[in-house]
Amino acid sequence: MIEFRQVTKRYGSDHTALRQVNFGLERGELVFLTGHSGAGKSTLLKLIMVMERPSAGEVIVGGQVLNTLPRRQVPYIRRHIGVVFQNHQLLFDRTVFDNVAMPLEVMGTPARDIGRRVRAALDKVGLLSKEKMNPLQLSGGEQQRVGIARAVVNKPPVLLADEPTGNLDPDLSADIMRLFAEFSQVGVTVLIASHDIALINDLGRRTLTLDHGRLTAGVGAAGSWHG
C-alpha cells in the first residue's frame, strides 16, 4: 500500500531529515513510527501526503509513484489518505457534523450521502450524540476523536496519525489506539507516529524506528512487502 525506496529528504542544502529510507506497508497493517524528536517522523508522513517531495528515491502509495505527480493531481491522492494530527485542526466556526463532512464536501458527495456517512463515522468514534455541538464544547479526547472521524469519513485506504495521543491520558490513548486497530482490521493501512513507547510496546505491533533520519528497526518486520 505504501512503499519507500531509498528515500532521502533534505531541507535546504545542509540539513538531511531522512536518509535512504526503505520500507513497505501492506494493506490492513497497523505500524508505529518512533524515534527521538527531530528524527524525521513528521517528515516521513508529509512525504506520503505530498506535503513535501523527496530529494531522492521514490514514494509509492497505492501503486502511484508520488515523486512525479503533477500539483493538480495532489488533492486526489489526499482523498485516499486520512490524517490525524496531535493538533487536530478542527474548525471552530462550524459544528462537529460540518467538520467531519469536509472530506466529503471537497469530493462533491451528494448531500444525503454526506449525512449518512458523517453519522456512521461519528457513531464509530462514539460521538453521534454531539454532532450539532461546536468542537470547542468538547473535551480534548473528544476533539481528537472528531479528528479521527473526519479522517475516516470517506473510507480512505490509508490512515496516517502524527502524535494522535500526544496530550491525552493513558485511558483515552488506549481507546484511540483501539479505534485505529479496528480500522486496520477492515483493511485500512494505518501508520502512527508516536513517542509513547509504553503504549507501543503494549500493543506489540510492528514498529519502524528512525534515528537521525535513518530507519534502524522494523524494515522487514512484516516480511512480505517486497514481493
Partner 1 sequence: MANESRRQQSRGAKSGRSPWREQAESYLSHHHKVARDSARRLWQSPLASMMTWTVMGVALALPVALMLLLASLEGVSAGWESSARVTAYLGDSVSIDEAQALKATVTDDSRVAEVELIDRDTALEEFRASSGLEDALDYLDENPLPHTLLVTPSESSRTADGVEMLLTVVEGLDGVERVQVDLGWLQRLNAMTDLLGRAVWALAMLLAAAVVLVIGNTVRLAIENRRDEILVAKLVGGTDAFVRRPFLYTGAWFGLGGGIVALILLQLSLWWLSGPVERLAGLYRSEFSLNGLSLDGALALIIAAMLLGWLGAWLAVKRHLDDIEPGEIAGG
Ligand X SMILES: Nc1ncnc2c1ncn2[C@@H]1O[C@H](COP(=O)(O)OP(=O)(O)OP(=O)(O)O)[C@@H](O)[C@H]1O
Binding region for Mg ion (CB under 5 A): 41-42
Name residue 196's amino acid.
D
Cell numbers found for residue 60: 509509492
From the list ligand X, Mg ion, partner 1, none, pick the one residue 17 interacts with, judged by a Cβ distance below 5 to 8 Å according to partner type: ligand X
For residues 220 and 73, give the distance between their C-alpha atoms in angstroms, rounded to a whole number: 31
As measured in angstroms, the least distance from the Cβ of 46 to ligand X is 7
d(CA 125, CA 178): 10
Question: Which residues are CB-neighbours of 207 under 8 A, at least 6 positions away?
Answer: 31, 32, 33, 34, 200, 217, 218, 221
For 145, how many CA atoms within 13 A lie in the half-sphere containing its CB? 24
Beta bridge partners of 56: 8
- Binding flag, residue 208, ligand X (CB under 6 A): no
Q: Which of 213, 180, 203, 173 is nearest to 42 (CA)?
A: 213
Distance CA 7, CA 57 (A): 4
- Subset of residues 14 to 73 that bind ligand X, contact rule: CB under 6 A: 15, 17, 35, 37-43
The partner in contact with residue 40, picked from partner 1, ligand X, Mg ion, none with C-beta cut-offs of 5 to 8 angstroms by kind, is ligand X
Nearer to ligand X, 13 or 129 (CB): 13
Note the residues at the interface with partner 1 (CB under 8 A).
1, 3, 27, 37-38, 42, 45-46, 49, 51-52, 60, 62-64, 72, 75-80, 83, 85-87, 89, 91, 93, 102-103, 105-111, 150, 157, 162
Cβ of residue 42: shortest distance to Mg ion, in angstroms? 3
Residue 13 engages ligand X in binding (rule: CB under 6 A): no
Q: How many residues bind ligand X (CB under 6 A)?
A: 11
Residues at the interface with ligand X (CB under 6 A): 11, 15, 17, 35, 37-43
